[in-house]
Amino acid sequence: MPQVVLPGPVRRRPLVEAGVTKLPGEIRGRVTATRLSLIEVRPGEPLPPLPKTAWLEIDLDALVENVRLLTILLPAGVRLEPVVKADAYGHGAVPVARALVADGTRSLSVATFDEALELRQAGVEVPILIVFPIPPELAPAARRHGISVTAGDQTLLARTLAALSSDVQPGRPAAVASDDVERRLVAGASDEPRLAIHLEVETGLGRGGVDPNLVPAAAAAIEASPHARLAGLWSHLQAAGNADLTAGQDRRFGIAAEILEAAGAILPARHLAASGAVLAASVPPYDAARVGLAIYGLVPDGLEVAEGARAVAAALRPVMSLRARPIRVAWLEPGTGVSYGPSFTTARRSLIATLPLGYADGYPRSLSNRAQVLVRGTRVPLVGTVAMDAVMVDVTDVPGPDVSVDDEFTLLGEQGGARIEALEVARWGNTISHEIVSAMSGRLPRVYYAAAEAVGLRTIACDTSRGGRGLDWPPPEASAEDSGPLGRE
């Protein structure tokens, strides 16, 4: 991999082809930009200087290979739908989505309307499902952009259908929907596409979905609207590795489908499994599997992987690494307090390295005096309290010459044959792997690699989207003066 150039001014550079996937340009005559756009890195060229000496490395080759491996576990005809919510679990939604689509991914899932809209603004045109209900007043915009939504509450469903009815504008073309699946949404009474609604069933998670007995009524309300259609029936598992709980949820999901069929409805696409269920083989895959954590090379914490999936699970490669170089390395005398509190005091003359990242970057404060990091392939302890912008590491016992500001540290990932995994970091912080990667904030530069070369860099400094409205969000009736501080920038 090319040498990372550290610090210096960040030059604004245009969005271009980055070798793996298409970067945004004009969509239907309107120039758009992503929330956190990419700086061009041309093949063979070094990276531009990073704005800080702590950064994430994202391996797009590992991402694509993980998806291919996981697809092996699904029967023919079952779609693997990558989940790219929460900024693709911290990896960067737009670069991740583009890499996946370039490799053949046919649909994606997110959690919020703006996550879906960000992908549309970036030119991602495959079907997108929002797995949490959106505010009903956003339903017309979702329909125009070919974004599928979830319904899991009858009151909100009624309001969503009402919002669609009040927004009818015959003759207005659909905004994006170019995929064959989306083209099937076109309805008869209007030139607009119907909004694809996936009905969530409450099977035991206790947080969302309609009761199985009420599924026919909800489905009938959707199909009765000329502006919507029932596109999916789904639920989510409480504990994919728990055979009893999972069997009960699958049974209730099946009952919902049977009741719907008995009412005369045609069953839509069904999806129940996520990463855990795919790896544990605990429920049928039905028509699609929504896979999140596993595509990023991580197995859900504590999951007992099915025997037939163990080879695939073992071959998954973590996509994210967290690196840093010190901003200071100094000898401290015995009795010197380190960081706030202090929660750590040197008992001997100690060489302490300060790394420029902290809890504002997503490195949890709960790791204070618990975590370890790698330098020169050697594990060293994090000492003192994790601050907003800095952590300190005791490098006194690292073999060889004294550690210097030129040494590279690895806080997550591999170095010199040693590895620190997200699961290990999660255990130090009393949390789960999902949180460790998803919490990585936009302040950390993300360097994207493919074919062992850097192909893109995302930083706050190269954000070109502020002050611009992609597509038609906020809605046209909301002026810049009404849309809050960002709308007036």
Q: If residue 426 lies in a helix (H) or strand (E), which one and from where to where? A: helix 422-428
What integer pLDDT is reported at residue 169 of this predicted model?
A: 56
Token code pair at residue 344? 């750590």
Res 475: pLDDT: 41
Say if residues 135 and 117 touch (Cβ distance below 8 Å): no
Q: How far apart are CA 411 and CA 391, in angstroms?
A: 11
pTM for the full predicted model:
0.84
Closest CA to 37 of 476, 468, 474: 468
Look at residue 472 and tell me whether its pLDDT is greater than 70. no
Q: What is the pLDDT of residues 217-247, one digit of tens each?
A: 999 999 999 999 999 999 999 999 999 999 9
Mean pLDDT of 47-65: 94
Indicate left, alpha or beta for 331 from its phi (over 0: left) and psi (-120 to 50: alpha).
beta
* Predicted confidence (pLDDT) at residue 368 exceeds the cutoff of 70: yes
| Residue labelled with tokens 């259908």 | 161
| 162-217 pLDDT tens trace | 999 998 654 454 444 444 434 433 333 345 689 999 999 999 999 999 999 999 99
CA-to-CA distance for 259 and 429, rounded, in angstroms? 45
Consecutive H or E run containing 39: strand 38-40
Q: Can you read off the two tokens belonging to residue 427?
A: 């255990």
Q: Which residues are catalytic?
A: 85, 340
Please give the mean pLDDT across all residues of the chain: 86
Query: What pLDDT digit, counting tens, does each position of 79-110 carry?
Result: 999 999 999 999 999 999 999 999 999 999 99
Lowest mean pLDDT among 131-145, 323-337, 369-383, 444-458: 444-458
**H or E, element range at 254:** helix 243-262
Using CA atoms, how far apart are residues 317 and 431, in angstroms rounded to an integer?
21
Say if CB 308 and CB 285 are below 8 A apart.
Answer: no
The pLDDT, as a whole number, for residue 25 is 34
Cα distances (Å, whole numbers) of residue 436 to 84, 238, 320, 382 = 16, 20, 11, 17
480 has a pLDDT exceeding 50:
no
Q: Which residues contact 307 (CB under 8 A, 6 or more apart)?
A: none
Query: Could you say which DSSP state residue 281 is in?
Result: T
| Alpha carbons 54 and 50: distance in angstroms, whole number | 9
Q: Cα(450)–Cα(143) distance, rounded to whole angstroms? A: 34
- CA of residue 452 relative to chain centroid, distance: 22
Distance separating alpha carbons of residues 406 and 329, to the nearest angstrom: 10
Burial of residue 372 (CB within 10 Å: 0-12, 13-18, 19+) is middle
Judge whether residue 473 has pLDDT over 50: no
The pLDDT, as a whole number, for residue 168 is 62
98 φ, ψ (degrees, to nearest 5): -65, -40
- Measured between alpha carbons, how far is 354 from 250 in angstroms, rounded to an integer? 50
Residue 36's pLDDT is what? 59
Q: What is the pLDDT of residues 378-415, one digit of tens each?
A: 999 999 999 999 999 999 999 999 999 999 999 999 99
pLDDT over 70 for what percent of the chain? 81
pLDDT at 43: 76
Give mean pLDDT, residues 299-321: 97
Ordered by where they begin, the domains of the chain are: 55-320 (3.20.20.10), 326-442 (2.40.37.10)
- Reading the block at residue 93, the tokens are 């939604």
Q: How confident is the model at residue 35 (pLDDT cuts 50, 70, 90)?
A: low
The CA distances from residue 79 to 68, 88, 146, 273, in Å, are 12, 19, 19, 11
| Kind and range of the H or E run holding 163 | helix 154-166
